[in-house]
Structure 1
Amino acid sequence: MITVLNFPCIPRPRSIPVSEFFENEIESDSITPPYTILHRCDESTGCCTNMKHTCVVTHEKTVEVAFFLPKRQKFHVLHMKNHTACGCQFIRNSIK
C-alpha cells in the first residue's frame, strides 16, 4: 500500500520553461535549452502527515545557469533559486 510516508516533503526536480525567466518572449523562443531542471518544494512535491500542513521551501541556493542565445550568438547566465530543503508548514486561510 502506498501512503503519504512513501512520498515525503523533499525537494524534487522539476522541468521549468526558460521563458519564465526572460522578459522578451520573442527572444525566449529561441533559447537553448528551452527548459532547465530545478528542485522545487510545493504541494505537489511531497506529503505532510498533518492535513493542515503543506510542503514549502525552507532553504534555497542561488545557482548560475547558462543559456545560449542564437540570435546574439552568445551565452547568457541567469541566477535561479534551487530549493535545497523543504518542510511542512501550517496552511493559513486565505481570504478570496
Structure 2
Amino acid sequence: MAVKVAAKMETETSTFCYDRAYKLQSCFSAKRPVVDLSKVNADFINCPCEKPQPRSVKVKTLIKGDANTYEPPFIILHRCGHSGSCKLDTEKCSASKKKPLRLEIKMVQGDEVKIIQVKVTNHTECSCLSENTPIK
C-alpha cells in the first residue's frame, strides 16, 4: 500500500493539497464560499473597455539599446491593455485612438546631464478588437 504524501496550504476559503507530482488538487473545506454571480456580472459590466488606465512605464523600455540613466526612471502613460472587459473571448481591449506626445527627460551620461525629448504615445480611447487585429 503506497502512502500519499501531501503538503497542505490553508487559505480563508479553501485548502489546497499538493501531491508529490505537484498536481494541484482542490480540497475544499467546509468554508467553501458561495459566489454571487450577479456581483461578478456587475463587476464585468462596470468595467467596460472604454477608458485607458494609467500605467507606470520604465523610460529605458522606450529608448531601445541604451545604458544611460534617466530621471525620472518611470513615467505614467495611459494604456488600454487589461483596462476593461470585452464580451467575446476572442477580443482584447486595445487602443482605438492614440495621441503622440514629446516628454522632456533628464539623461545622465557619466558626469554629464542632458535634457532630451522622448516620443511616446498615449492611448486616449479603447475598444474591443479581435486578437488577430494588427496593432497600428
Q: TM-score range by the shorter chain?
A: 0.7 to 0.9
Aligned length: 89
The 3 A distance-change label for structure 1 pair 52 and 77 is same
Q: Which residue of 1 aligns with 2:100?
A: 62
Deviations 1:16-44 (A, max 9, x none): 011112234421xx2100011101112x1
Q: CA RMSD in A?
A: 1.5
Could you say what secondary structure the match of 2:118 adopts?
strand
Tell me which amino acid in the other structure corresponds to 2:125: A
Could you say what secondary structure the match of 2:45 adopts?
helix
Q: Which residue of 2 aligns with 1:22?
A: 63
Equivalents in 1 of 2:106, 2:79: separation in Å? 24
Q: Which moved more, 1:45-54 or 1:8-17?
A: 45-54
Unaligned runs of 5+ in 2: 1-38
Tell me which amino acid in the other structure corresponds to 1:64: R
Unaligned runs of 5+ in 1: none
CA contact (8 A) 1:48 1:54 kept: yes
Q: 2:77 aligns with which of 38, 42, 47?
A: 38
Deviations 1:45-89 (A, max 9, x none): 110123332111111000111110133322111110100011011
TM-score (norm: length of structure 1): 0.81
Tell me which amino acid in the other structure corresponds to 1:36: I
Q: 1:73 aligns with which of 102, 113, 117?
A: 113
Equivalents in 1 of 2:103, 2:78: separation in Å? 13
